[in-house]
Amino acid sequence: MNIGFIGLGNMGAPMAANLVKAGHHVTGFDTANVKLDGVEIVASAQDAAKGRDVVITMLPNGAILRAVAEQIIPAMDKGATLVDCSTVDVQSARSVAEQASKAGLGFVDAPVSGGTVGAEAGTLTFMAGGSDTAFKVAQPLFDIMGQKAVHCGDAGAGQAAKICNNMILGITMIGTCEAFALADKLGLDRQKMFDVVSTSSGSSWSMNAYCPAPGVGPKSPADNDYKPGFAAELMLKDLRLSQQAAETADADTPLGQAATALYETFVEAEDGKGRDFSAMLPRFEKRGRD
């Protein structure tokens, strides 16, 4: 395919590189002055979108997505497909989908899970919303950039799935970190704690695959001084999106609210910014009961 890729940052660059390795022609644009082997870098988002079969965007937030959509949708050929892999609010995804539809374009909102490691390895999970036709166009590209793509429903459903997933992730990581800090103070060895919990009813992805305790379980950012695999400020962004969605939908999410407040404190008032979201563990280690 002839692909445009807009947003060549920590996630977008390796995703685009994997498309090039698979034999696709990729034209890219980023506001930063980037160079990427095999990707033809152009001067504007419109230039990246013109004449492409598929245009993929990987952008920081809904406001930027809306602004970029205003630029690129008029430049795209009728019948082309816009695939947005950003994590944004549901309403922004639905608004851009409507705009694309009016212009005769296909649209898929397809936020990802797997972080920069998954982007580099081509093992991302895509949570997709949009029409069956648009999803079928995008699916071969998802197969290159990831290991799984789930068509969750109509436009916005991908964002809804990502927001709900990451609310669970934020909550379970806090619970895992609290439990390790409590285990320390009860004199329980961390490895023994992991051996029990990882095979018992308290098991979770946060414990089993991304353990926040250094030297315990599979290798994780905890073993690299909590340098981000998934930064705490990105978790805060996703939790805020979950609470924005909950407010709109009139959904009661007390644990989601509590997790948002904790990550807000950690990122904005403590030392969490620039650290992995699992660095909540050393935070709890230093604290006593109020």
Catalytic residues: 162
Cβ burial of 203 (10 Å; 0-12, 13-18, 19+) is middle
Q: What is d(CA 224, CA 229) in angstroms, rounded to the nearest whole number?
A: 10
Q: Are strands 112-113 and 106-109 parallel, antiparallel or unpaired?
A: unpaired
Provide the H-helix boundaries in the chain: 12-21, 45-49, 62-72, 90-102, 115-121, 132-145, 157-185, 190-197, 205-208, 232-249, 254-268, 280-285
Per the CB < 8 A criterion, the answer to whether 66 and 43 are in contact is no
The sign of the torsion formed by the CA atoms of 189, 190, 196, 197 equals positive
Task: List own/partner pairs for 12-17 with CB under 8 A and 24 or more apart.
Answer: 12/56, 12/58, 12/85, 14/116, 14/119, 14/120, 15/56, 15/58, 15/85, 15/119, 15/124, 15/145, 16/56
